[in-house]
Amino acid sequence: MLKKKRSIQNKNSHYSLNNSFVGKNFTTEGSYFMWSKPWIMTQIWQDVLFLHWPISPSEIEPYIPQELQLDLYNNKAWLSVVLFKVKGQRLRFLPPFPGMDSYLQLNVRTYVTYNGMKGIYFFNLDVTNRFIVQIATKGSLSYRHSKISLKQRGNNFSFTSLYHGALDERLQISYQPISSAIISSTLEKWLVERYHSWSTWKNSLLRIDISHTPWQLQRVSINITSNTLAPFVKETIQGIHPIAHYSKNKKARIFSPILEMKNQLR
C-alpha cells in the first residue's frame, strides 16, 4: 500500500560524517562506538561480497516504514545485497554456543535516515541457521531461513541462495577478488560505511547500532547466473550489472536495540 508523500534525503557528490556522531566517540578510523552502554554481541564476517544497484526512489519508497526517509545519492535510491560467512558469534562475556556461532547470511537492504542519522533498512536477512531465525523473529529483525551454500577453490568463490516464499528468491553468483585493498571513493564510502539499522516490530520502530573499523574494500570480478532477489521491486535488477566489492573479513560489535518510536507506526 502506498504511503503519503514524505521528504527524502539526497546526497549529491559530497560525503561527510553524520553530525549525530559528534561528541559520541566516533574514532578517526571511522569506527562508531556506543556512548551509553556496552556491546552485547560480537561476530566476524568473512568473505564479504557487496552488490549495489541504483534504483528509482519511487520504486522502493513504498516498502520502507513511513517514519524513515530514503537516503539518496545523486537523486538515486540504492538496493544492496550483502553476502558473507558469520564466524565466532557470541554474547559478551560468554563463549560461542555450539551450533549458533557459524552460518551463512545474505542481506537485502536500502539506505535511509531517521532524525538526521544515516543507516540502512533491511528488507530481509536470510541465514542457514534455523535456531538463529527462531530467536531473531521474536525480536526485531526480518530473519528468514534459506538454503545457502558458499564454496571456495583458491581465490574463486561460488555462492548460491534460495528462499521459498510466495515467489522464490534465488541468487547464484561466482566471484573472484582481483585487487588488493583500494582507497574507497566518495560513493563507495557512502554505500558501505553504515553503523545503524532500523526495523519494525509490533508497530514500533527499533534501531540497532554496530561498531567496526572502516571497510577495506577490494575490486572483484563477478558472474551472476541467476538473480530473482527483491521481487517486490518493479524496476527489476535482473540482468543489470551492479557495483561490486569484496572484503576478506570484519570483526563487528552489536549493541542492544533502541526503541525509537513505540506503537506509533502507521
pLDDT of residue 36: 55
Helix, strand or coil for residue 233?
Answer: coil
What letter would DSSP give residue 226?
E
Provide the Cα torsion 194, 200, 206, 210; round to 10°.
-30
Contact 45, 86 (CB under 8 A): yes
Task: Compute the Cα dihedral for 21, 206, 86, 219 and give only its sign.
Answer: negative
What is the H or E stretch that residue 241 is in? none
Contact 30, 213 (CB under 8 A): yes
How far is the C-alpha of 206 from the C-alpha of 198, rounded, in Å?
6
How many helices (H) and strands (E) the chain has is answered by 3, 15
Which residues on adjacent β-strands are paired with residue 141? Answer: none
Kindly state whether residue 4 falls inside one of the protein's structural domains: no
pLDDT of residue 29: 33
- In degrees and rounded to multiples of 5, residue 207 shows phi and psi of -120, 140
C-alpha cell at 92: 559478551
Scored b (16 or more CB within 10 A) or e, 200-227 reads: bbeebbbbbbbbbeebebeebebebeeb
C-alpha cell at 104: 551463512
Kindly state whether residue 170 falls inside one of the protein's structural domains: yes
- In degrees and rounded to multiples of 5, residue 186 shows phi and psi of -60, -45
C-alpha cell at 23: 561528541
Kindly state whether residue 130 falls inside one of the protein's structural domains: yes
Task: Compute the Cα dihedral for 87, 88, 91, 96 and give only its sign.
Answer: positive
pLDDT of residue 78: 98
The CATH number given to whatever domain includes residue 184 is 2.40.400.10
Helix, strand or coil for residue 127?
Answer: strand
Kindly state whether residue 21 falls inside one of the protein's structural domains: no
Kindly state whether residue 157 falls inside one of the protein's structural domains: yes
| Alpha-carbon distances of 66 from 147, 196, 203, 234, rounded to whole Å | 32, 17, 12, 19
The parent domain of residue 217 ranges over 36-259
pLDDT of residue 134: 85
Kindly state whether residue 183 falls inside one of the protein's structural domains: yes
Give Cα 85 to chain centroid, integer Å.
14
Kindly state whether residue 240 falls inside one of the protein's structural domains: yes
Q: Domain tally for the chain?
A: 1
Kindly state whether residue 22 falls inside one of the protein's structural domains: no
pLDDT tens-digit profile, the chain (266 residues) = 334 445 567 765 333 333 333 333 333 333 444 445 689 999 999 999 999 999 999 999 999 999 999 999 999 999 999 999 999 999 898 888 888 889 999 999 999 999 999 999 999 999 999 988 988 776 656 899 999 999 999 999 999 999 998 889 999 999 999 989 999 999 999 999 999 999 887 778 889 999 999 999 999 999 999 999 999 987 778 888 999 999 999 999 999 889 887 655 55
> Cell 535456531 sits at which residue?
131
- In degrees and rounded to multiples of 5, residue 165 shows phi and psi of -135, -155
pLDDT of residue 262: 65
